[in-house]
Amino acid sequence: MRILLFTDSYPPEVRSAAVLMQDLAEGLVERGHEVSVCTLIPRYNLAEKVSRKGLFWYTNWENGVYLIRVNSLPVHKTSLWIRGVGELTLPIAFLAGSMLASKPDVLAVYSPPLTLGLTAGILKYFRNIPFVLNLQDLFPQDIINLGIMKNPLIINFFRGIEKLVYSMANKIAVHSEGNRKLLLEKEDIPAVKLVTLPNWVDTEMPHRASILGFCKKWGLQGKFILFFGGVMGVKQGLEVVVQAAEKVKDIDDIVFLLVGDGGAQPDLKKQVKEKGLTNVVFKPFVTPAEYWSLLKEVDVGILTLSPDIKTPVVPSKMLGFMAASKPFIAAVNKESDAIAIAQASGSGKVVPAGDSQEFAGAVRQLYQDRQLAGNMGKQGRDYALAHFSKASCLDRYEQILTELKRQVL
């Protein structure tokens, strides 16, 4: 089967989305399929400098995957207006890039950005190529909730794109049952079109990773380390971490390690400086391999979402903590399906999004009760092995794509 995958993020970018899509592409190649990936020329969320190879596009092969990298206007780390225009032009760039691949039997689209679904819709109707929309975030609802998008005309415009893409998709895959129920109830999408397909994690990566001495390099030896790694955006609501750090600064051994970058990072650094905190440490992105090594050296993972996020989103880094046997503290909204996973697995502490008092209390509890923290880590790994293994999730993804191909034969 020839498969074309659309995603705006792919390694060497180190976002969780990039790793997921690489796992999907290379996993499908291992199953005997011909896989092409159309993605952006890397410029965001990089752990190391990457040389540009083309002005508008370039192609190369990586681990059996044919990569088509296209250029675009800025879509990250820029103003809302420029990002909006950039995302609206993405369908043109990806449509041109798709012409560089052999005609696929099926398409898989990672969203966000939702506008990539427009390109898939064009290919569906003009080239008879069915597609599955892998819907991670509910756009534009999330940024409406955050107060970023307020203009009624713009909201209606993107609502129209949302409904159009949902109607064109042959299948819509969501990563939790809560997201499926939300789409059924609020978007009136036929149940037959919706499938629940959890995100996955490579449960073998923690065993392959070696100790690289990050704690020694960064002067954190002997500290109780609470770790966040990834994009630091408005959606993450990391202010609660800074506020909690202030509440536990009486314990010298505790440090909050924030690794990554993003639009909210400058303001977070400003808050730390204004509060005079020495227990919050910022470091740049590390590579995916280094990330797993770093996880070996920390004590507790951090998951946060802005209190304004009202959808059932599950932060994907949660699965990494579970696979690495690390307990976590999740500051999430009551709608998040992360709560159900944490409760079912016994893998972490859940506090209300934005509640720094509860967050600080959870930090103190895990600091004082190392046996509890260890048990949570073990239970998390057991649950990840049973429910989120890469092999079982990719098998399900392959099944969905195979069914779509049969529909047009």
Residues 135 and 26 occupy one common structural domain: yes
Q: What is the pLDDT of residues 247-302, one digit of tens each?
A: 999 999 999 999 999 889 999 999 999 999 999 999 999 988 899 999 999 999 99
pLDDT of residue 115: 92
Q: What is the mean pLDDT of residues 15-29?
A: 93
Rounded mean pLDDT of the chain?
Answer: 91
Predicted confidence band of residue 61 (pLDDT cuts 50, 70, 90) = very high
Q: What is the mean pLDDT of residues 312-328?
A: 92
CATH number at residue 345: 3.40.50.2000
Residues 188 and 210 occupy one common structural domain: no
pLDDT of residue 54: 64
317 contacts 229 by C-beta, under 8 angstroms: yes
Lowest-confidence segment of 82-91, 163-172, 301-310, 390-399 by average pLDDT = 82-91
Q: What is the pLDDT of residues 181-238, one digit of tens each?
A: 888 887 778 899 999 998 999 899 888 888 889 999 999 999 999 999 998 988 899 9
Q: What is the distance, to the nearest Å, from the Cα of residue 379 to the centroid of all Cα atoms in its chain? A: 23
Residues 258 and 215 occupy one common structural domain: yes
Q: What is the pLDDT of residues 367-381, one digit of tens each?
A: 999 999 999 999 999
pLDDT of residue 263: 86
328 contacts 321 by C-beta, under 8 angstroms: yes
pLDDT of residue 243: 97
pLDDT of residue 78: 64
Q: What is the mean pLDDT of residues 127-141?
A: 88
User: Regarding predicted confidence, which is higher, 309 or 140?
Assistant: 309
The C-alpha atoms of residue 303 and residue 316 are separated, in whole angstroms, by 9
pLDDT of residue 207: 86
Residues 240 and 166 occupy one common structural domain: no
Q: Is residue 46 over pLDDT 80?
A: no
For the whole model, what pTM was predicted? Answer: 0.85
Residues 96 and 150 occupy one common structural domain: yes
Residues 115 and 255 occupy one common structural domain: no
The proportion of the chain whose per-residue pLDDT surpasses 70, expressed as a percent, equals 97
Helix (H) / strand (E) containing 368: helix 356-368
Q: Which residues, in sequence order, are CB contacts of 71 under 8 Å at separation 6+?
A: 40, 41, 54, 55, 56, 57, 93
Instruction: Tabulate helix, strand, coil % of the chain (nearest 5).
Output: 45, 20, 35
The C-alpha atoms of residue 223 and residue 298 are separated, in whole angstroms, by 9
Q: What is the pLDDT of residues 336-385, one digit of tens each?
A: 999 999 999 999 999 999 999 999 999 999 999 999 999 999 999 999 99
Q: Is residue 79 over pLDDT 70?
A: no
Structure token digits, residue 333: 């909204």
pLDDT of residue 311: 82
What's the full length of the chain, in residues? 409
Residues 213 and 301 occupy one common structural domain: yes
Q: Is residue 401 over pLDDT 90?
A: yes
Q: Is residue 167 over pLDDT 90?
A: yes
Q: What is the mean pLDDT of residues 112-126?
A: 94
Predicted confidence band of residue 409 (pLDDT cuts 50, 70, 90) = low
Q: How would you class 255 by CB atoms within 10 Å of its CB: exposed for 0-12, middle for 13-18, buried for 19 or more?
A: buried
Q: How would you class 187 by CB atoms within 10 Å of its CB: exposed for 0-12, middle for 13-18, buried for 19 or more?
A: middle
Residues 42 and 169 occupy one common structural domain: yes
Helix (H) / strand (E) containing 65: strand 65-70
Residues 39 and 162 occupy one common structural domain: yes
Count of the separate structural domains present in the chain: 2
pLDDT of residue 16: 85
Q: What is the mean pLDDT of residues 389-402?
A: 92
DSSP strand pairing (65-70 vs 57-62): antiparallel
pLDDT of residue 297: 95
Residues 223 and 142 occupy one common structural domain: no
Structure token digits, residue 244: 């909690």
Containing structural domain, residue 261 = 205-387
Residues 272 and 403 occupy one common structural domain: no
Residues 171 and 68 occupy one common structural domain: yes
Q: What is the mean pLDDT of residues 155-178?
A: 91
Angle at 347 (CA atoms; ends 333, 313), nearest 5 degrees: 30
